[in-house]
Structure 1
Amino acid sequence: MIRKIKAVVNKLDINEIIIQSENFFFESIPTYRILKNCEENKEYIFETILDINEWNISLYLFYDNFERNMFLNLKKVSKLGSKSALKILQNADAENIATMISANDINGLSKLPGVGKKTAERIANELKNIFDSFVTTGNNSKLNDALDALEALGFERNKIYKVLKEMNIENLSLENIITQALKKL
């Protein structure tokens, strides 16, 4: 089973990534981290999953092991398959998804493509114990309120998560969290 692949990114855009490993060319859908961190004509080592079923053979590429594990966990959620899990990872950073799950952020999860409110609740309920370490339970309410407020001001949810993750929000009031986050956004 292929676990890692050393490859050169030949083409990279939102719809596909074409990589070359020796004399083989693979076409795959890039994840958020691959789109954000990779450049064309450079060599990378990707984490992979080879998925074989009765309809097709798919090689899934991931920027790192955390992203790969997020994909495997999302696939375990009832009524969520490989294509849906990959679509989620194509539109949001794996750490942000883990933070949303840990914070029980149903609103944020339901904004991911192909994820409605019921699916978001299933993801949060079935994967909560796996990602508990991302947010301390006392801060979930403040984190969600700050996210909603900053998103209402027009900021992208992934960028907000990144800024809030860098901040120590434990001893801050909601107003201070929003004010400090606005300075960094």
Structure 2
Amino acid sequence: MIGRIRGSLIEKSPGHALVECGGLGYEIDIPYTAFFHLPETGQEVTLHTHFAVREDAQSLYGFASRLDRDLFRLLIKVNGVGPKLAVGILSGLDAQQFIRCVEARDVNALVKLPGVGKKTAERLLIEMADRIGQLEGQFTPSTAAITVPGDAAAAQAAVGPDPRDEAEEALIALGYKPQEAAKAVSKVAEEGMNSQTLIRLALRSMIPTP
């Protein structure tokens, strides 16, 4: 199993990264929380990974921290939660936020995630309450929000001529309805914001930190 990759970041976009390591380019699916932590292209990056093999596909998932990766592995063991939904969950909440949500039994925060209905949210709270103990030693209580590199680096990360359109498309790809995405982006948008910042703030506005 491929558990970690360190190499040069060749390409990045919301949900995906291409990392060159040992002459090979690895296409990696990432949650948005990992995308926010990526350096500029051409720089070295380290991602904690999970390699999934199915009959019809082989996929590599990457995460900014080992805690996020280990939580992903626990999430996909929950009945009805596959890799795609697990990535969606970790796109809206990082591992520490999700764990605090489980500890507080906050169903409302979970149902705001795309693809998570009330029954799935309740199942997550029940099953994950018994499993997060496996992450002991990795989780440290924190109220810190997801951080983004400095303004100059963030500005360079923007892709496309219109940051608002880019942010809306990213939220729609995550599973939100077009009207929800447009409303969320419009709510947080300010002059000069790049798409990466818009995505982060829009997600936070729709899914308050538990």
After TM superposition, the score normalised by the length of structure 1 is: 0.69
Aligned in 2, Cα 1:15/1:37: closer, same or farther, shift over 3 Å?
closer
Q: How many residues align?
A: 144
Measured after TM superposition, the shift of residue 30 of structure 1 is: 2.1
Q: Name the structure, 1 or 2, with higher relative contact order (CA <8 Å, separation 6+).
A: 2
Q: Give 1 or 2: higher helix fraction.
A: 1
Q: Which runs of 5+ in 2 are unaligned?
A: 142-187, 189-203
Partner of 2:49: 48
* Residue 85 of structure 2 corresponds to residue 36 of structure 1: no
Match of 1:104 in 2: 105
Do the aligned partners of 1:6 and 1:46 also contact (CA within 8 Å) in 2? yes
91 and 12 in structure 1: CA distance in 2 versus 1, 3 angstrom threshold: farther
Distance 1:22 1:88, change over 3 A: same
Once residues 110 and 135 of structure 1 are traced to their aligned partners in structure 2, the CA distance between those partners, rounded to angstroms, is 24
Question: Aligned residue for 2:24?
Answer: 24
What letter corresponds to residue 112 of structure 1 in structure 2?
L
Matched residue SS, 2:114: coil
Matches of 1:70 and 1:15, distance apart in 2: 18
User: Percent identity among equivalent residues?
Assistant: 30
**How far apart are the structure 1 equivalents of 2:119 and 2:208?**
25
After superposition, where does 1:64-79 map in structure 2 within 5 Å?
64-79=65-80
**1:173 maps to which residue?**
none
Aligned partners of 1:93 and 1:158 also within 8 Å: no
Counterpart of 1:82, as a letter, is: P
Equivalent-residue separation in structure 2 for 1:33 and 1:8 (angstroms): 19
1:99, distance to aligned residue in structure 2 (A): 1.0
In 2, Cα distance between the equivalents of 1:104 and 1:71?
A: 19
Q: Could you tell me how far 1:158 is from its partner in structure 2?
A: 5.8
Distance 2:208 2:10 in 1: 28
Counterpart code for 1:33: T
- TM-score, reference length from structure 2: 0.61
**2:59 counterpart SS class:** strand
Shift of 1:120: 0.4
- Compute the displacement of 1:19 (Å): 1.5
